[in-house]
Amino acid sequence: MKHRFFAWALAAALVLTGCAQRSSSLSRTVYAMDTVMTLSVYNAAETALDAAEQELLRLDALLDRHEESSAVSAFNAAAADEPIMLDGELLSLLQKAMGITAATDGAFDVTVAPLMDAWGFGGEAYRVPSQDELNALLPLVGAGGLTLTDTSASHKNGVRIDLGGLAKGYAGQRVRDILTEHGVQSASIDLGGDVCLLGTKTDGSAWRVAVRDPQNSDDFLGILALEDCFVVTSGAYERGFEENGVRYHHIIDPATGYPAQSGLSSVSVVCADGAQADALSTAVFVLGESRALTLYQNAEALGLAPFELLLVRDDGTVLLTAGLYDRFTPEEGVSYAPVG
Ligand code: ADP
Ligand code: MG
């Protein structure tokens, strides 16, 4: 049996900085959350980047379920049905995650940890679990396995959480807030596929974010012109392995236990809320086009912050919701259409 890595965590979107950025710029590369992150700030001091870097490392240490000393590990290791006091920040992230689970019919669910491990996405060797194995694990997945109060949380026997689906988006939000506190007005932060744009470029024009072609990750599908928002992309090509000619990627459908096959090969979510953008990119990838558009139309009623979608069908067609359609410049030969 042969395993082969494919495109290890290639940044799904790229912020293009042209010569219009004449002012002084500083950038910093940080390795956190299994990802190479690049912070670029304009008209700012190194101290702003120092503070942002510290925050990324702090969040990595708090949220990494593979780090024994993290708050998430402590929660996962706690005895079944035993409420433990949780760090307030982690508790509110969990509350947010569960709200998104409810809004997405369980397509996003932080209790996927046992499934991630079964596939070897927890850092173990990649493998294809048997149907029996998945059947035994599926009852451990679902919001019913977690109970939250205002100060504590508990889980049922065998239930474990993995915040990998929204941690980077939340981290981007914190970095944006810290940079803002340091007086930074223009920055682009690339957390490996999760892009955070602070303000505009220093000449007042919109940032240009190139969206990668999921079929051929050397190419781009087009460019989005955006300001002050998060752009989070989930694609089947980002992380995964190949066994006997079949590709298995790291976004798991909690309903089946298998890597999601929804007819979409890439999903980008644009939203002012980083954690929500990240969670929804994962959820929409699982939901597929038609359920994603229902979610989009009902966002407000479901308690979600407003968001916009760029979907890429398996056949390569790009679909854009109303707020993005006029902001998109396709590459030559890319077919695209409005939806929603
Ligand atoms: P990445 O973090 O690689 O950019 P995503 O944001 O799409 O990609 O999130 C994938 C990560 O989310 C996985 O590595 C795993 O930790 C977690 N995950 C996978 N499937 C789900 C799911 N259905 N619901 C919530 N989290 C998930
Ligand atoms: Mg995500």
Ligand 2 center from residue 171 Cα (angstroms):
12
Among 59, 105, 251, 276, name the best residue to mutate to test ligand 1's pocket (greatest count of ligand atoms within 8 A of Cβ).
251
Q: If you take atom 12 of ligand 1, which residue's CA is the nearest one?
A: 165
Question: For residues 317 and 335, is the Cβ–Cβ distance under 8 A?
Answer: yes
pLDDT band at 179 (very low <50, low <70, confident <90, very high): very high
> How far is the first Cα of the chain from the last one, in angstroms, to the nearest whole number?
43
pLDDT in tens, 185-235: 999 999 988 999 999 999 999 999 999 999 887 899 999 999 999 999 998
* pLDDT score for 11: 60
Q: What is the reported pLDDT for 128?
A: 97
Which ligand is located closest to the Cα atom of residue 104? 1
pLDDT at 21: 53
Which residues have CB less than 5 Å away from ligand 2 (the ion)?
165, 278, 281-282
Using the mean position of ligand 1's atoms as its centre, give its distance from the Cα of residue 164 in Å. 5
pLDDT tens digits, 203-217: 999 999 999 999 887
pLDDT(2) > 60: no
The model's pTM is 0.94
Pairing type for strands 220-226 and 186-190 reads unpaired
3-state secondary structure 122-178: CCCCCCCCCHHHHHHHHHHCCHHHEEECCCEEEECCCCCCCHHHCHHHHHHHHHHHH
Find the 213 Cα to ligand 2 centroid distance in Å: 18
pLDDT in the model for residue 1: 35
Q: Report CA dihedral (325, 326, 329, 333) to the nearest 10 degrees.
A: 50
Of all protein residues, the one whose alpha carbon is nearest to atom 8 of ligand 1 is: 234
